[in-house]
Amino acid sequence: MTAAAWVFAAALAAFAAAAGSEAPYWRPLDPQNTLVVETTAGRIIVEMRPELAPQSVARVKLLAREHVYDGLLFHRVIDRFVDQTGNPNNKDGGVSSHPDLPAEFDARLAPAAVTVAARPRGAILGFVGATPVMASTRLGADGQARTWGLYCAGVVGMGRQAGEDTANSEIFFMREAARRLDHDYAVWGRVVVGEDVVRKVKVGFPPKDPDKMLRVRVLADMPDAERPKIEVMDTRGDAFAALIARTRQARGADFSPCEIDVPTRAVK
């Protein structure tokens, strides 16, 4: 069995073991910090993490509630890289009526906020919820550590212009990992349902027949009958710890949190 196949089999085993278990293996999504994106390619559900980029999350929620995102095109889609959207003019450089945001390339978090997956020299690799992160082992006087999101597949970020403090309304979804973006663009969450949809969005700059975001809503704003009923594997539970251990054993020195998709399940 190849290493990749072994990792996949281990993930399925961990998922199956947890599927028959109750809490604490699974947790519900926070309705106030979950974004439901209906697109022409399918549904994408994002778990937003305000701990990492509070102003970016607040802006995305504001624009969703103002219906700014509804109907916007995926105007720049690069295969094996990103799906960009969110500009009201459907082109690079478009902005909303709100002011640009300050850079949120990293955050300061208490060590307990990060589920540890590995400890390379001078750093911690892990997760904040479903979002992969890296953190410094050096704590400040406040007892917190510099922590930043990792641009793995499914991670979502804020687009910007050349200046660091120019994020506004543009957002992008990672089709594959591109760690060169770490520290340069604000990470505000990760796709927990619909990574396959992210990769189905039509490619081009601009695409000949672009896909679009049909409707973008915060889960808390949706009528109960329309809300997707999803739970995410708790990254602090034993099942996820076993998944990390198996993946690390299979990948060895090549291990990265990008190797792990946090499992989800539908509930009634």
CA nearest neighbour of 118 among 18, 237, 3, 260? 260
When divided into structural domains, the chain yields a total of 1
Count CB neighbours of 79 within 10 A: 13
pLDDT at 132 over 80: yes
pLDDT digits (tens, 9 = 90+) for 40-66: 999 999 999 999 999 999 999 999 999
Per-residue tokens: 205: 């700059």
pLDDT digits (tens, 9 = 90+) for 208-259: 999 999 999 999 999 999 999 999 999 999 999 999 999 999 999 899 999 9
pLDDT digits (tens, 9 = 90+) for 156-214: 999 999 999 999 999 999 999 999 999 999 999 999 999 999 999 999 999 999 999 99
Global confidence as pTM: 0.91
Could you tell me the CATH number of the domain that includes residue 14?
2.40.100.10
Domain coverage including residue 71? 3-266
Do strands 230-233 and 264-266 pair parallel, antiparallel, or not at all (unpaired)?
antiparallel
Do strands 131-139 and 171-174 pair parallel, antiparallel, or not at all (unpaired)?
unpaired
Rg (CA), the chain: 18
